[in-house]
Amino acid sequence: MFCYQCEQTAGGRGCSVMGVCGKDPKTSDLQDLLVKVLCDVGSLAHTKGSSREADLLVLEGLFTTVTNVNFDPDRVESVIRRAFQVRRDLAGGQMMDQWLEEEAMDQEALAAKGSQVGPKADMDRYGETLGGLKWLVIYGLKGTAAYADHAHILGQEDPEVFAFFHRALHQVSREDITVDGMLSLALEVGKVNLKVMEMLDRGNTGTYGDPVPTRVRVTPVKGKAILVSGHDLKDLYELLKQTEGKGINVYTHGEMLPCHGYPKLKAFGHLVGNYGGAWQDQQKEFDRFPGAILMTTNCIQRPLDSYKGRIFTTGLVAWPGVRHVDRSDFSPVIQAALEAPGFQEDGEDKEILVGFGHNATLAAAPKVIQLVKEGKIRHFFLIGGCDGAKSGRNYYTDFATLAPKDTVILTLACGKYRFNKLEFGDIEGIPRLLDMGQCNDAYSAIRVAVELAKAFDTDVNSLPLSLILSWYEQKAVCILLTLLHLGIKNIRLGPSLPAFISPEALKVLQDSFHIRPIGPSAQEDLREILGA
Ligand code: FS2
Ligand code: SF4
C-alpha cells in the first residue's frame, strides 16, 4: 500500500505499512484499483458516451475511497466488480485483454494489481511533482464526488458535472500528462466543485429550508438516545421520521451539528441536541454514549468493542463487522437504542449558537457593513476546515481565542469544535462567532465574501478578511481548489501541507496564490495580518 491522501499520513510522507486512519493494506490497494477502473470508465464515457450507471458509479466509487469512509475490503471489491460491469457495458464488446484478466481475479489478486497502479507507481513513473499533481486532481475529484453524491441524493444533478468527471478521469489517465496540464485541470476541479457545492446548497436548503440562527443544547437529556454522525441530511431526516413517537431522543455528532438550524429538521422535537466533539474524539465519546450510533458518511474510526454492537453504518460508509443499514429502514438502530440504557439524567443547561448560512448572514449584512464603516468591526477571520488529532491544531484554538474583540470569526466544518463552546460575545448584537455550517457550506462563506466585496465596492482579496484553513481529507482539497480557482490569495493552510504537493509544486502555488503554511504562533500570525 501507499496512501498519502490525508493530512495525518504517516511521517508526513505516506502510509505504507498500515493507514494511520486504520485502513489496512489490502483495502488501500483495492481502493487504488477502484480509482484506476473508474479512470477506465471515465475515459470510455468521455470518448464513447456515458450511461446513467457510469455517471452514478463515478460519484459513488470516488466517494468510497475518501478518507474514513470505507474500511471493508469486501465492500470495496463489490464496487470494483460493479465498475467492471459498467466498463464492459461502455466498451460495447471492445474489451482489452488486461480488462478481461482483471475481471477474472480474486480479491487477493485484485489487491496485488491495485498496489501497482496507485500514487507510488505514478511517482516512480512521473516523479514527485507531476505524480503528485495527478493525485491532487484525483483527490480533488474525490472530494467533489462526495458533495455531488450528497446533492444527487437530494435530487440535484447536472449533466455537465458528470461530463466533467469523465473528462477529468480521462485526462489524468493519459500517458502524456504535464505539470501545466494537471495544474489547470486542478483549477477546473475547483471551478466545478463550486457549482457542485451550489447544487448541494440548493438541495439542502430547498429540501429542509434555509438555516436560521438556532441555539443548540450540548448536554444530554434524560432518556433513550441515538447519535447521528457524518454529513447526510436526508439520513438524519429519515431517522427523525422513523423515531417519531418512540420515546428516543436524537443527537447530532460532528458535522451534523449545523442540521439544527434547518427549519424542517429542527421542527422535530426529539432532535434534542448535539453530543461530543469532532471526529477524532469519537472512540472515547461513543464509548460513553448510552445509546445507538449511526455513521452516515466520513469520518468513522475503528469502533471499540464496547460499542461495536450498537454502532451502524449507512450509505457508502463501511467497517468490517459493523452492521450496515439502509435509510429506508432504520429499525435495527432504533432497536439498539431501545435496548441501551439511555441517559439517566439531564445534563446542566448549556447551549451554543448555529445556523449562519449565507441567508442568515446576509440578512445581517447591512448592520455588519455599518459596523465595519464605523470601525467597530476591524477584521473577519474564516477559521474553516477539518479537525484532526495532531497537537499542532491547537493553533486554531489559540487563533480564535486571541483574535481581538473587534473581529468576527466565521466557522465551517468540524475544526470549529476546538473552540465553539467558548464564549466570544458580540459586537452590538452581531455574535463574534458565526457558524456557517458543514465543510460544503464553504459555498455560503464564498457567497457572503462576494456580497461584502460588492457592498464595499472592492474584490474579495481587498476585504478585511483572512482565511485560516485547516485540512484533513479530500473534501478540504476540493474546497481549496475552489478558492484558488476564484483567485483568492494569502490563504494560510495547516496544520501541515499536503504530502502530495512537492516543494516544486508548492512554489508554483505560492508564486501564483501566495498560499502559505500557518506559522508556529497564532499570535504572530494575528499580528502580521492585523498589522499591529
Ligand atoms: Fe470533518 Fe471528517 Fe466535513 Fe471532513 S467530519 S474531517 O470528513 O468533511 O470535515
Ligand atoms: Fe494514511 Fe490518510 Fe491514507 Fe489513511 S487516508 S492510509 S491515514 S494517508
**Ligand nearest to the CA of residue 276, numbered in listed order:** 1
CA 255–ligand 1 middle distance (angstroms): 7
The response to whether residue 384 sits with its C-beta less than 6 Å from ligand 1 reads no
453 part of a folded domain: yes
Residue closest via CA to ligand 2's atom 2 equals 6
Ligand 1 atom closest to Cα of residue 230: 5
Residues 314 and 369 in one domain: no
> What is the 8-class DSSP label of residue 223?
B
- Residue 124, Cβ neighbours under 10 Å: how many? 10
Q: Which of 367, 371, 394, 369 is nearest to 383 (CA)?
A: 394
352 CA distance to ligand 2 centroid (A)? 32
Listed residue (268, 123, 275, 193) closest to 442, CA to CA? 193
Ligand nearest to the CA of residue 16, numbered in listed order: 2
> Is 7 touching ligand 1 by the criterion CB < 6 Å?
no
Please enumerate, by residue number, every residue annotated as part of a binding site for [4Fe-4S] cluster.
3, 6, 15, 21
Is residue 203 one of the residues assigned to a domain? no
Looking at the fold, whether 382 and 499 belong to one and the same domain comes out as: yes
**Cα of 59 from ligand 1 centre, angstroms:** 18
Based on its alpha-carbon atoms, the radius of gyration of the chain, rounded to whole angstroms, reads: 23
Same domain, 150 and 18: yes
Is 167 part of any domain?
yes
CATH number at residue 51: 1.20.1270.20
Local structure of residue 65 (DSSP, 8 states): T
Does any ligand 1 atom lie closer than 6 A to the CB of residue 63? no
Same domain, 290 and 439: no
Nearest atom in ligand 2 to the alpha carbon of residue 4 is 8
**Domain-located, residue 77:** yes
**Which of the listed residues 147, 282, 386 should we mutate to test ligand 1's pocket, taking the one with most ligand atoms within 8 A of CB?**
386
Both 41 and 169 in a single domain?
Answer: yes
- Which ligand has an atom closest to residue 1 CA? 2
Rounded Cα distance between 8 and 255, Å, is 19
Domain termination residue (choose one: 339, 368, 393): 339
Answer whether 472 contacts ligand 1 (Cβ < 6 A): yes
Q: Which of 339, 369, 402 is the last residue of a domain?
A: 339
In Å, how far are 117, 159, 295, 385, 491 from 231, measured between CA atoms?
30, 24, 9, 14, 25
> What distance in angstroms lies between residue 494's CA and the mean position of ligand 1's atoms?
15
Residue ranges around ligand 2 (CB below 6 Å): 3-6, 8-9, 15, 19-21, 23, 28, 67
**Residues 175 and 220 reside in one and the same domain:** no
- Please report, for residues 16, 133, 179, 191, 305, the alpha-carbon distance to residue 185 in angstroms, rounded to integers and kept in the order given: 28, 10, 10, 10, 44
Torsion region of 429: left, alpha or beta (phi above 0 gives left; psi -120 to 50 gives alpha): left
Could you tell me if 424 and 396 are in contact, meaning their C-beta atoms sit under 8 angstroms apart? no
Same domain assignment for residues 330 and 257: yes
ipTM summary value: 0.97
List the pLDDT tens digit at each of the 532 positions of the chain: 999 999 999 999 999 999 999 999 999 999 999 999 999 999 999 999 999 999 999 999 999 999 999 999 999 999 999 999 999 999 998 999 999 999 999 999 999 999 999 999 999 999 999 999 999 999 999 999 999 999 999 999 999 999 999 999 999 999 999 999 999 999 999 999 999 999 999 999 999 999 999 999 999 999 999 999 999 999 999 999 999 999 999 999 999 999 999 999 999 999 999 999 999 999 999 999 999 999 999 999 999 999 999 999 999 999 999 999 999 999 999 999 999 999 999 999 999 999 999 999 999 999 999 999 999 999 999 999 999 988 789 999 999 999 999 999 999 999 999 999 999 999 999 999 999 999 999 999 999 999 999 999 999 999 999 999 999 999 999 999 999 999 999 999 999 999 999 999 999 999 999 999 999 999 999 999 999 6
Q: How far is the CA of 128 from the centre of ligand 2 (A)?
A: 18
As a whole number of angstroms, the distance between CA 152 and CA 189 comes to 18
Look up cell 505499512; give the residue: 17
∠ Cα 502 189 434 (to 5°): 95
- Statement to judge: residues 170 and 232 lie in one domain: no
In angstroms, what is the span from residue 325 Cα to ligand 2's centroid? 25
Name the residue range of residue 398's domain: 357-530
201, part of any domain: no
Neighbouring CB atoms inside 10 A of 97's CB total: 7
Q: How many angstroms separate the CA atoms of 424 and 436, rounded?
A: 16
Give how many domains the chain has, as a whole number. 3
Answer whether residue 405 is part of any domain. Answer: yes
Q: What is the pTM of this model?
A: 0.98
Nearest to 67 by CA among 358, 439, 354: 439
Protein residue with its CA nearest to atom 6 in ligand 1:
386
- Within a domain: residue 80? yes
Whether ligand 1 lies within 6 angstroms of the CB of 147 is answered as no
Distance 6 CA to ligand 2 centre (A): 6
Domain stop point among 269, 304, 339: 339
At 37, is the secondary structure helix, strand, or coil?
helix
